Each structure stands twice: as C-alpha cells, then as structure tokens.
Structure 1
Amino acid sequence: MKIVFMGTPEFAVPSLDRLIKEFEVVAVLTQPDRPKGRGKKLSMSFVKEKALEYNIPVLQPEVLKDDLKTIEYLKNIQPDFIIVVAYGQILSKEILNIPKYACINLHASLLPKYRGAAPINWAIIKGEMESGNTTMLMNEGLDTGDMLLKSKVLITENMTAGDLHDILMEDGANLLVKTVKGLSKNEIKRVKQNDSDSCYASMLHKKMGKIDWKLESKVINNLVRGLNPWPIAYTNYKDKAMKIYEMNVLNERSNLEPGSILEVSKDGIKVVTGDGCVLIKKIQFPSKKPLNVEEYIKGHSIDKDVKLE
C-alpha cells in the first residue's frame, strides 16, 4: 500500500508515524521551511523532522497546484492513497485524481460542523460538549467531501484547546489507519455532508482574545479555554495587558460592575461578570512568564476594587 503523506504541524506527526509503521509511505509533502523565533532562523516543520527520521523523501513546494515538477513526481509514484492532515494548501483536481483509491483528509471536528482552520478552538469557544475527528474523501471544496469514519471525544469542563488538540492528535492517527484499511477493502460507506448543518471555524487572531466582562461567566471561560495555548485571552489591568490562561466559574453573584475585582488571594482573582463571578487562576503580564496567581502575588500586587477593562 503506497502512500503519499501531506501535512505540516505537530498535529499531523502521530498520523504520519502510524502510517509509516502500517504501510509504505513513499513521499512526504510539507510547507517550506519558515523563519522562526527572534533570530528568524529557518525552521523545518514538525512533519519534515519526522519524515527525515525515517529517511523518507520530503518535498516542499511553495504552491503545490502550480508546481508541475512535483505533480509529475507524484504521478510517477502512482500512490494508492494521498493522505492529508493539516497540510495548509488546497489540492487541485489534477492532484486529487492521482491516487488509485482516494485522497483522504483527517479533520479535527465532527463534520459538517466546524469546517475550516481552527475547529478545535471553536468547538470549545462555542461551548460544545463533544468534538472528534472525521476522515473524508477530498474534493475541491474546503472540508466538504464525503465523510468516511468518525470518532467522538467528550469535552470536559476545564479542557483547553491544547488539551483537546493532544487527544485528537493521537485519536486521529488511529482513525486514519482504520480508514485506509477499510477503504482498500471497500468496507466503508461514504456519507454526504449536509451543508445546512455546517459552520465555519475561522482562523484565530490576537484581537479576538479581548474579554468582555459583561458576558456570562461560562461564555468568558469558554473563550479562555478555547484560546489556550494561543493566542490567549486577555484583559487590561491598570492599562497593562494581562493574559489569562485559566479560570473557574463561581456560583456567586455581585452588584458591582462587570470587570470589578472583588478579591485577591492565593486561590486567585475574583472578578465580576455579566451574570456572576469567575476566579482567575493563571496570568501573564508583558515580558513576564505565565504564573499561577498564588505565585504572582508573592512578589507583586493585584489591587481589589480595580476594574478590568
């Protein structure tokens, strides 16, 4: 079973690893090396690092659909499957028609909900109780192909996007192996997506992390969880940006204005919301490392009766 794998971030690495162990991965495509960090040193993707461990040929076209040499290379390989996991480029119809069986995509949501770039984050931001992975046959649309297999994961009360990412990353690798084996034996029934049930998980940006304290406690907590580990929700404390990594929803109410700090202790910073109170547990100020509030107040002060903006 010859497979071409296309992927880029850490999320795709367990999938590549499992496919290498189960089948013959003959080539890996990933995004070009990019400048990273303060020194802007060129860095390879997580997927490239894994492929090089196994001495698998790596191709890094800037724009795959326009790279005739790479397309010809893929045609000459005559793969049984092309497997795509967070590659970061759209595949043209010419590429979709290359493999013997199919181009399969692993998507980290229960399609047709949360098509798009950030399904893990938006599932938590929107307060979903479950998420999962879906494998699908690829077409020229964005996450619109016929679905193959699904696996569900419960979203627990304090789960962050980072936590869910790590669970789905491993779960997706298992689902892909099942999908490849099932399709090659013609044992999987394809299911069309109902477009009327779909919603779009747009890319994240830093400005969306600004907390509106007039919202309900649960909505604010969902935002904090959904934007952890990036870009991190934030508020302003005395004109300084304060990132918030973790909080708990409290069963308390206050007549003070939303955003008002009620109390500061080793347990956290108690803040008024639109319908109650939350307890901020972990924060970060500019040029400082993230700290639990208990650690932060050992060397710094957070004043009560201040209003977070």
Structure 2
Amino acid sequence: MKLVFCGTPAFAVPALKAVLSAGHTVELVVSQPDRPSGRGMQTIPTPVKQAAIEAGLSVVQPTKIKNNPEFQSQLEAIRPDAIIVVAYGRIIPRWMLDLPPLGNINVHASLLPKYRGAAPIQWAVANGEPVTGVTTMRIDEGLDTGDMLLQREMAIAPDQTAADLFPLLSAMGSALLIETLDGLAAGTIQPGKQDESQASHAPILTRDDGRVDFHRTAWQIYNRWRGFYPWPGAHTELNDKKITFHRVAVTEHFERAATSGSLLIEGSHLFAACGDNTWLEILELQLEGRRRMMTSEFLRGSTLKTGDRLG
C-alpha cells in the first residue's frame, strides 16, 4: 500500500518499522514539532522523526493540520491508500478522514471501548485491570469512537508497571497493524461498532494524579503507583516537604487500625496506614532536596518515629 504515517513518541516507532518491513511504501511521515527536552532544554527530534530520517523517509512537522492548505495539498497529491495514526497527539480533521479510501487507521493501546483517551496504558494499570491489549480502528471525529477492526489481549501481571507495558503493547500493536492492513487489502475484515455502554475514559495525566490519598486502600495506592510510574509517580508530604515513593508494596503480615497516613516503623521497615486498615510498605523513597535511597538507609539518618503522618 501507499501510506502516510503519523506518529510522534517512541511507542509509534515499531509500527513505522513494521510497515516498512512488510513492504508498504510510506510516502510521508508526519510528526509533531520538535520541542526542548531534558535538563539542558535542547531541541531534539521526535523519536518517529529520528526513525524516519534513518529510513530515508520524507518528514513534515506542521504546527497545525486542520486549517493548513499547504499540508492538505501535500497529502492530496500523495493520494495514500490509508493514513496510519499511532500516538500522533493531534485530532485528525475531517478532510484527512475523507482522503484515503481505506480510512485513517489507528493503533490504540486498550481494549476499546474501554480507556478511550490519551493515557490508556497508565489508567488500565492504575485501576488494577488484569487484562489490557491493543485495538486497531478507523478514526472518526469522536475521541477513539471509530469502528474497530482487530483486537488483541495481553495479561497484566500484578507487579508490572505502565512503563513495563509500553514496549510490549507497542510490539503487539505493530504486529496487529500489519495484520489489519493485510485484512483490509484482502477484504476479510468486517469493521465493528463500539459498545457505548462499555466505554470508559483515560484522560491525560496531571501531576496531581500522583498525589497519594491514604484513604484509599493499600492495593489501590499500589496500583496507582504502578500505573503512574515513572510520571507523575506517587508523592505526598512529610513535614511540609515533598516525598516521592519510588518502590512500594502491599503488606498483609499484620492487621492494625490506625489513622490514614500514619507511619509505623519496625526495625528498618517503614509502613503507612491506608484505608480499610490496610498497610503499604515504602521500600524506596526520595525526600525533597535529597537523593533517592532505600528506606532502610533513610531511616538510619532520620528522626522519624511511629505515629508521624504523611500528607
């Protein structure tokens, strides 16, 4: 097929490489503009742009696509069979939806209609889902509401973080994209409507999503830590200073009632009381202004005592 590929982050790179390996022609790669990043705030190419340049592909990075006559003329001249959209990060306008005969095909990292939106992997883990997956779909003018093409499931292990799942779902989505293109070419895929009654949303993450609410159970806090690792992570306050939890675990070896957020110290172990008389062990942390360290090391130089509170 003759394709246009739209994508920006590292998650989309395997899909671009898979399309090329399958023998399709990518006439143009569309990525978001390069932005400053890192401590030095240096402007670096997006991961998709880097991969496209290495493959010798043409790349454009329009600041807007809805009302952009030059960009529209460029795509109309290509006359692609399909436009592939993988984590591009922009709403696809009507004129792009209407352009290719096979439509705009998206790889979405959830089992639609669940977890529509910008952060499906993170919210699936944060909500303690045992299963996730990827869905290929035809984009329409709604938010991830288009007709589904193919879908694959993947189990989520109890100790997996969202960061662990990103490369796995990226690889699964890449393979499913090629299967989808083959099925569309052969006419063997029957698009299916999404069940709106089962829809849920996965909004873009904010820093406040990482704030620990100790009224939640230890398992809920642990799952949110897994889902929001490495950003926005899990953080709270200790004596008016921000404290970040880098590793936590649910402990079930004792039951004792305590006020939510209260601390319990047993030797080199630190526990926080959570909702429903559950307890969270804090294994690795970082206090504002200090380096990341194991909790046992932190306690050796701390005046913290049982009964002190977080939050």
Q: Is TM > 0.5 for Structure 1 vs Structure 2?
A: yes
Residue 101 of structure 2 corresponds to: 100
2:261 and 2:272 in contact (8 A); partners too: yes
Indicate the residue corresponding to 2:292 in structure 1. 290
User: Using the alignment, how far apart are the partners of 2:64 and 2:76 within structure 1?
Assistant: 17
1:112-137, Cα deviation, whole Å (9 max, x unpaired)? 01101111111111121111100001
Amino acid of the structure 2 residue aligned with 1:226: G
TM-score by length of 2: 0.94
Q: Distance in 2 between matches of 1:98 and 1:9?
A: 24
Q: Which residue of 1 aligns with 2:117?
A: 116
Q: Take 1:141 and 1:71, find their aligned partners in 2: how far apart are those partners?
A: 21
CA contact (8 A) 1:264 1:303 kept: no
Name the SS for the 1:70 alignment partner.
helix
1:79-228 → structure 2 map (5 Å cutoff): 79-228=80-229
Percent identical residues: 39
Partner AA of 2:70 in structure 1: K
Deviations 1:6-50 (A, max 9, x none): 001111111111112112111100001112233332222111011
Give the letter aligned to residue 12 of structure 1. A
For residues 205-263 of structure 1, the C-alpha deviation after alignment (integer angstroms, 9 at most, x for no partner) is 11121111122111111111111011111111222111112211111322222212212
Cα distance in 1 between the residues matched to 2:297 and 2:173 = 37
**2:282 corresponds to which of 270, 280, 283:** 280
| TM-score, length basis structure 1 | 0.94
Structure 2 CA distance, aligned partners of 1:12 and 1:105?
11
Compare 279-288 and 42-51 and name the one that shifted more. 279-288
- DSSP 3-state at the match of 1:230: coil
Rounded Cα–Cα distance in structure 2 between residues aligned with 1:102 and 1:289: 50
Residues 262 and 168 of structure 1, relative CA distance in 2, 3 Å threshold? same
Match of 1:42 in 2: 43
Larger deviation, residues 97-106 vs 179-188: 97-106
Counterpart contact for 1:253–1:272, Cα < 8 Å: no
Q: Return the offset for 1:265.
A: 4.9
Task: Note closer, same or farther for the CA distance 1:17–1:163 as it changes in structure 2 (3 Å cut).
Answer: same
Q: Which residue of 2 is the match for residue 3 of structure 1?
A: 3
Root mean square deviation of aligned Cα: 1.6
Indicate conservation of the 8 Å contact 1:8/1:87, yes or no: yes
Hey, what does 2:260 align to over in structure 1? 258
Q: Residue 302 and residue 245 in structure 1: after superposition, are their counterparts in 2 closer, same or farther (change >3 A)?
A: farther
**Equivalent residues of 2:5, 2:26 under 8 A apart:** yes
User: What residue is the counterpart of 1:72 in the other structure?
Assistant: 73
Residues 161-220 of structure 1: CA distance to partner in whole angstroms, max 9, x if unpaired? 111212111111111111111111111111101112111111101112111112211111
Do the aligned residues in 2 keep the contact of 1:264 with 1:304 (CA within 8 Å)?
A: no
Residue 81 of structure 1, CA deviation: 1.4
Q: For the residues of structure 2 that align with 1:14 and 1:295, how far apart are their CA atoms?
A: 40
Q: CA deviation at 1:51?
A: 0.5
What's the counterpart of residue 241 of structure 1?
A: 242
Contact 2:285 2:292 in 1 (8 A): yes
| TM superposition shift of 1:302 | 6.4
1:263 to 1:95, Cα distance in 2 relative to 1, 3 A:
same
- 1:223 alignment partner AA: R
Distance in 1 (alpha carbons) for counterparts of 2:297 and 2:152 = 39
CA contact 2:210–2:231 (8 Å) conserved in 1: no
Which AA in structure 2 matches 1:3?
Answer: L
Contact 1:225–1:246 (CA<8 Å) still a contact in 2?
A: no
Q: Which amino acid aligns with 1:262?
A: L
Distance change in 2, residues 1:55/1:160 (3 Å): same
